[in-house]
Amino acid sequence: PAGTAWEAALMCRVSMRFDDAKVDFLHDQEFEAVFFPLSEQIDPSRPTDVDYDDRDLRSEPPSPCTYRLPNAPIEQKTFFTRVQRDLVDSLVRSRTVDMLTNKDLKVFGRPGETPEAFAVRCQAAADTKADEDTAKLRTKYQTKMQSLQKQLLAAEDRAQVLETQAKGKRTDEIFSAAGSILDGFLGGRRSRGSMISSASRKRSTTAAAGARLDAQESKIQALQQELADLEQQLVDEVQGITDRWNTTAMNITTTAVQLERTDVKVTALSLVWLPVA
């Protein structure tokens, strides 16, 4: 830089490590700043952030030049020691890094990870939890479903037997009525009352067989409905699990990772001169 009047400034470079070992989070940052103008008391919380390279500095003074001495005791080593200590304290108090967090899933962000990538990891973790909860339902529903299926199979088998019996009763009624009653009547062996009574008994037997078949078919329908209700209950419960974990996956917040004093290192603190006129 051109100029003949130069004033003192402090140039610093600090390495900071944000570390949370419990969640395996590690993030390094570098802080570069200049303090200008210098006074007897430096406020470490009010630096001017700069991005500089050591090659930006030169050791040879320009000619001609005039140095304006500051009020700060730059000739004393304790001044630089105090500035370094106060700078570290200020950074420890004020600097944090936000870490994406899903506490329910115990998923934590990685350095440089985008919110979109973190959300994908949360959803994957939630899907795993949902699969685990769904698997627990297998034992609960398997016993009930197998029992109903067994009852339904037995009821259908019984219905087939009753249907065969009912058809046989109807056939017997037809042929018996057409045969024995007519023969008895024509042969003079049956009275009017006995013919009516015999026909009525045969119809009652046929009706009873039909009623048993109807009752069995009603039982089959009831078992089928019970099985359908159980399946719907399973679907609803699985949907509830899915919805709950999907909601959990979206419960994303940020956690401030703070600095520890031992993780702050002042790697450079240099007295430099800047042109002012």
Kindly state the average pLDDT of the residues 263-269: 97
Separation of alpha carbons 33 and 141, rounded Å = 66
Burial readout 206-223 (b: 16 or more C-beta within 10 A, e: otherwise): beebbebbeebeebbeeb
pLDDT, tens digit (0-9, with 9 covering 90-100), for 21-39? 999 999 999 999 999 999 9
Domain extents in the chain: 5-95+259-275, 117-250
pLDDT digits (tens, 9 = 90+) for 209-225: 667 767 777 788 888 88
CA quadruple 86, 90, 93, 99: dihedral, nearest 10: -130
Provide the pLDDT for residue 53. Answer: 84
Asked if the model's pLDDT at residue 165 lies above 90, the reply is: no
What's the pTM value of the predicted model, to 2 decimals? 0.68
Residue 274 has pLDDT above 60, yes or no: yes
Confidence of residue 106 (pLDDT cuts 50, 70, 90): very high
Query: Are 272 and 50 in contact, with CB atoms under 8 Å apart?
Result: no
- Please give the residue that has the higher pLDDT: either 178 or 87: 87
Residue 178 predicted with pLDDT over 70: no
